[in-house]
């Protein structure tokens, strides 16, 4: 499953041990090629490298990078969100990440100071590292590859100075993240930075909190689980990371204030390996949570609006179907009446032409109504597929013959390469519907150009292609056009509701097949349909 990784390495075995199907990235078989290629580069490198992937900056790293971790981070860091793994340096590196994502260009940082927690202690380190954007086939940034080098010793040698003893306090004073240091099993506050006081101090000064236990300082948090989590971290030495937790604190005015926080509890470990306390990091995410709730409300409203639209289309289509059928039947009867009474097309061409035009428009409306009915059936999971044995070669030839007059009127010559006697079990009517949709699109979007139709039988599948020589489809639209009410271009004057390809894909999928489009810029579009060769 991971042939792109270096064999027999610690990190390869770690990646293989993770149940990615339960992870937000999903199974490795569905990972994009650009991620697999990048992982192969990192895995086989003898230099410390890692990857931040996706919106949540999911982490991957190689064996050389393990040496940079403390006991708190590896192996938990593999597959972890970057912000959760590195809360102490996130305010520094996150703006750098966003700059690379925005500009799509690599950046290099030389001797960057990063104060990290290793074995429960703050340690100042210096790194030279480069961020390289990982682009997908469409040129969009999907992640960042990082190559890094620890320059701490070199920087120290150049400066030739000792680190001041109060460096930890300086870091805490300047950090935008709320930081507190607690000591002993009762978790007595020993140090608190200004950001912590601003967020949770409720107007108090650090002197009012130092020397008191967390339970004494925040009695209003009793029953919320925070005390129990802290005590568990102290007892087990296992860090805890909380995301978007609701917190109610007492304000200086005596009122309760609700907010949402991200926080991390890391054990402090002395030189003998004993746990002596806890370091906590905390910052408010109330605005982000509220924005997310608003987006969820908007998304639900849109979902309900789409459902109402689909229900309306389904009901309207059913109601329109009967009168359209009646009008079509009456028009056909009028034509027969004229012929029966000796009024032929030669004698009164104008009347016959008007009736023919009327029938043509009625058929067009009937197709649109049938498309809307199919959409309603798809949404309800009731699109009927009735398979019988059919000659796919003959079906394709007959369908193209029915379109011969329309193709000729559009100035489209047809080139057919159809292998004979390909027999399969399909719903012949539905497959004909798919072919008709593709030929109709050729007439709409590539008039006056040749169309090439091919049907061949391979070792494991049957492949049908319909290819035109029109303007083609932009790369960013090759997947979008298979959606509901989507068309190749929103600026085109070509009519249609944008349902044909959506329905066609569902029909092909229900046959166990695939439908997709290849469209090199300026060289037309080739629609490919693949059906299983075996009978099902």
What is the tens place of the pLDDT at every residue in 45-79?
A: 888 999 999 999 999 999 999 887 766 788 899 99
pLDDT for 350: 72
Which pLDDT band, with edges at 50, 70 and 90, does 95 fall under? very high
pLDDT surpasses 90 at 234: yes
Higher pLDDT pick, 369 / 531:
531
Q: Which of 516, 473, 467 is nearest to 494 (CA)?
A: 473
143 Cβ neighbours under 8 A, 6+ residues apart: 34, 35, 38, 51, 52, 53, 54, 57, 133, 134
- 243-256, pLDDT tens digit by residue? 888 877 777 677 77
* Residue whose entry in the numeric block shows the structure tokens 């690379």: 100
What number is the average pLDDT over the span 198-217? 82
- List, in order, residues 6 or more apart from 127 with CB less than 8 Å away: 109, 111, 112, 114, 148, 149, 150, 151, 152
Cα distances (angstroms) measured from residue 515 to each of 224, 354, 395? 53, 39, 18
For the segment 446-476, what is each residue's pLDDT rounded down to a tens digit? 999 999 999 999 888 999 999 999 888 888 8
- Kindly indicate the confidence band of residue 534, based on its pLDDT and cuts at 50, 70 and 90: low
Checking if the pLDDT of 132 tops 60, the result is yes
The 10s digit of each residue's pLDDT in 479-494 is 988 987 777 665 555 6
Q: What's the token pair of residue 177?
A: 């993240």
Q: What is the pLDDT of residues 503-533, one digit of tens each?
A: 899 899 989 999 999 998 778 999 999 998 8
Contact between 225 and 245 (Cβ < 8 Å): no
Q: How confident is residue 2, by pLDDT bands cut at 50, 70 and 90?
A: confident
pLDDT digits (tens, 9 = 90+) for 142-161: 999 999 988 988 888 777 64
Averaged pLDDT, 24-51: 91
> What is the DSSP track for 260-313?
EEEEEEEEEE-TTS-EEEEEEEEEE-HHHHHHHHHHHHHHHHHHHHHHHHHHHH
Q: Which residues pair with 247 in a beta bridge?
A: 259
How confident is the model over 90-96, as a mean pLDDT?
92
Three-state DSSP at 180 gives: strand
Instruction: Answer whether residue 288 shows pLDDT above 50.
Output: yes
**pLDDT given for residue 22 in this prediction:** 93
Three-class SS state of 487: coil
Share of the chain above pLDDT 90, in %: 38
Q: Do the beta carbons of residue 318 and residue 373 sit within 8 Å? A: yes
Residue 536 confidence class, pLDDT cut points 50, 70, 90 = very low
Lowest mean pLDDT among 57-61, 77-81, 339-343, 532-536: 532-536
Calpha distance 488→494 (Å, rounded): 10
Mean pLDDT for the stretch of residues 257-282: 89
Average pLDDT over residues 492-503: 72
The helix or strand, by DSSP H or E, that contains position 182, with its residue range, turns out to be strand 178-183
Q: What is the mean pLDDT of residues 273-280?
A: 92
Within 10 A of 515 (CB to CB), how many other CB atoms are there?
Answer: 21
pLDDT at 71: 65
Please enumerate in sequence order all residues whose Cβ is within 8 A of that of 525, keeping only pairs 6 or more positions apart, or say none. 445, 446, 467, 468, 470, 472, 473, 517, 518, 519
Q: Are 243 and 227 in contact (CB under 8 A)?
A: no
Q: How far is CA 480 from CA 332, 486, 501, 505, in A?
A: 39, 7, 10, 12
């Amino acid at each position: 499953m991971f042939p792109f990784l270096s064999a027999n390495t610690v990190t390869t075995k770690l990646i293989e041990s993770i149940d990615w199907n339960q992870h937000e990235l999903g199974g490795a078989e569905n990972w994009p090629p650009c991620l697999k290629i990048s992982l192969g580069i990192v895995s086989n490198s003898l230099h410390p490298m890692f990857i931040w992937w996706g919106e949540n900056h999911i982490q991957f790293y190689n064996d050389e990078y393990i040496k940079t971790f403390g006991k708190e981070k590896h192996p938990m860091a593999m597959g972890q969100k970057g912000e959760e793994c590195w809360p102490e340096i996130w305010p520094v590196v996150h703006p750098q990440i966003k700059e690379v994502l925005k500009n799509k260009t690599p950046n290099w940082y030389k001797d960057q100071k990063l104060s990290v927690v290793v074995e429960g202690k703050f340690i100042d380190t210096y790194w030279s590292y480069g961020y390289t954007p990982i682009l997908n086939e469409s040129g969009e940034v999907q992640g960042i590859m990082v190559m890094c080098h620890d320059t701490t010793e070199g920087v120290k040698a150049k400066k030739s100075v000792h680190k001041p003893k109060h460096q930890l306090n300086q870091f805490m004073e300047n950090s935008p993240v709320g930081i507190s240091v607690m000591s002993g099993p009762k978790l007595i506050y020993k140090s608190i930075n200004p950001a912590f006081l601003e967020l949770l101090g409720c107007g108090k000064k650090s002197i009012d909190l130092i020397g008191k236990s967390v339970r004494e300082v925040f009695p209003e948090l009793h029953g919320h689980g925070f005390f129990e989590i802290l005590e568990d971290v102290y007892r087990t030495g296992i860090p805890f990371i909380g995301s978007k937790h609701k917190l109610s604190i007492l304000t200086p005015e005596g009122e309760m204030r609700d907010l949402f926080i991200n926080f991390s509890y890391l054990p402090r470990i002395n030189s003998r390996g004993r746990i002596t306390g806890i370091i906590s990091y905390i910052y408010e995410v109330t605005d982000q949570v509220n924005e997310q709730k608003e987006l969820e409300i908007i998304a639900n409203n849109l979902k309900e609006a789409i459902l109402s639209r689909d229900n309306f289309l389904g009901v309207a289509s059913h109601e329109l179907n009967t009168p359209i059928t009646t009008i079509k039947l009456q028009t056909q009867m009028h034509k027969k009446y004229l012929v029966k009474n000796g009024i032929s097309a030669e004698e009164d061409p104008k009347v016959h032409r008007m009736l023919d035009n009327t029938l043509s428009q009625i058929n067009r409306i009937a197709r649109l109504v049938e498309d809307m009915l199919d959409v309603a059936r798809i949404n309800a999971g009731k699109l009927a597929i009735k398979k019988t044995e059919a000659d796919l070669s003959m079906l394709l030839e007959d369908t193209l013959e029915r379109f011969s007059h329309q193709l000729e009127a559009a100035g489209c010559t047809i080139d057919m390469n159809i292998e004979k006697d390909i027999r399969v079990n399909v719903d012949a009517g539905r497959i004909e519907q798919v072919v008709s949709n593709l030929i109709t699109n050729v007439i709409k979007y590539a008039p006056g150009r040749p169309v090439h139709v091919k049907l061949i039988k391979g070792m494991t599948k049957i492949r049908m292609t319909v290819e035109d020589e029109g303007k083609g489809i932009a790369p960013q639209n090759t997947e979008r056009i298979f959606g509901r009410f989507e068309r190749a271009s929103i600026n085109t004057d070509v009519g249609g509701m944008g349902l044909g390809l959506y329905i066609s894909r569902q029909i092909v999928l229900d046959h166990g097949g695939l439908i997709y489009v290849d469209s090199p810029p300026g060289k037309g579009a080739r629609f490919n349909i693949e059906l299983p060769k075996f009978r099902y």
